[in-house]
Amino acid sequence: MSTADPLDAAVLRSFRVGDEGAVRVVYRRYAPLVLAVARHVVGDRALAEEAVQQTFLQAWRAADRFENGRELAPWLVTIARRVAIDIARRERRRPTSPLDHVEAGHSSLVSLPPSESAAWEVAQVREAIESLAPDEREVVRLQHLEGWTQQEIAIRLGLPLGTVKSRSYRAHRALAARLAHLREATA
């Protein structure tokens, strides 16, 4: 099951023939989750961007084989994971450097790519984040990524603490609702 809002069938038809507007719509809709999956596989930001490009190109080339009525997100995630694994393998074949000179997160340090289900989970978390209203998303980002308290967020954003708390509440309820199916499926 996906949390994604499916694209209009007309957009997909236009995407198949390479219509620029449709390509842009598909990219904007799905690039964040494709990037998230790619980054979890290759680590390196530039390589992940490369994987995003290749993923959408491959999707476009194979779009004729994509069945109407299916959701695009799981298909793109499958392609993205495979493409990113190929890129990671390619990078590992390059001449090596001493570990002291390798930055944390370098693709050569990634030993095992996420499984298909783990990649899907990453994509779903990213989708859930994307589904939030921008002001709620920002509160969640500051809370989880930056590790700020609600009090700190209120001060830094110049908002009443009550506003931050209510945004955090709404956002986390929405996230829980969006992600619940992942645990229900494995329960």
Partner 1 sequence: MSFDDLTAHERALIDEFRGALGDPRTWDQPSTDGEAALVAAIDAERRLLSGTRPRRRWTAMAAIAVAGAAAGVAATVYVMRDRTPEPEATAAMQGTDFAPGLQGDAEFTTKSSGVEIEIHLAGLPRRDGGEYYQLWVHNCSGSAWVPAGTFHDMDYVVAWAGVAPSDYPVLTVTEEAASPADGDGQRSLGRVVAWGSLAECTT
Q: Is 44 exposed, middle or buried (0-12, 13-18, 19+ CB in 10 A)?
A: buried
| Contact range with partner 1 by CB under 8 A, out of 4-12, 68-76, 152-160, 173-181 | 173-181
Helices (H) and strands (E) in the chain, counts: 8, 0
Question: How many Å apart are CA 20 and CA 100, to the nearest integer?
Answer: 45
Least distance (Å) from partner 1 to the CB of residue 64?
9
| Contact range with partner 1 by CB under 8 A, out of 3-11, 65-73, 151-159, 160-168 | 160-168
Question: How many Å apart are CA 177 and CA 132, to the nearest integer?
Answer: 12
Which residues are CB-neighbours of 10 under 8 A, at least 6 positions away?
Answer: none
Site string for partner 1, 109-148 (x = CB under 8 A): ------------xx--xx--x----------xx-xxx-x-
Contact between 36 and 122 under an 8 Å Cβ cutoff? The reply is yes
User: According to the binding rule CB under 8 A, does residue 71 interact with partner 1?
Assistant: no
Contact between 35 and 52 under an 8 Å Cβ cutoff? The reply is yes
By CB under 8 A, name the one of 28, 65, 100, 112 that touches partner 1. 28
User: Whose Cβ is closer to partner 1: residue 46's or residue 67's?
Assistant: 46
Question: How many Å apart are CA 82 and CA 74, to the nearest integer?
Answer: 12
User: Whose Cβ is closer to partner 1: residue 70's or residue 166's?
Assistant: 166
Question: Which residues ranging from 35 to 54 are in contact with partner 1 (CB under 8 A)?
Answer: 35-36, 39-40, 43-46, 48-50, 52-54
User: Whose Cβ is closer to partner 1: residue 50's or residue 135's?
Assistant: 50
Question: Which residues ranging from 97 to 116 are in contact with partner 1 (CB under 8 A)?
Answer: 106
Contact between 77 and 56 under an 8 Å Cβ cutoff? The reply is no
Question: How many Å apart are CA 26 and CA 28, to the nearest integer?
Answer: 6
Phi, then psi, of 160 in degrees rounded to 5? -60, 145
Which positions lie near partner 1, rule CB under 8 A? 17-18, 20, 23-24, 27-28, 31-32, 34-36, 39-40, 43-46, 48-50, 52-54, 56-57, 60-61, 87, 91, 94-95, 106, 121-122, 125-126, 129, 140-141, 143-145, 147, 150, 165-166, 168-170, 172-173, 175-176, 179-180, 183
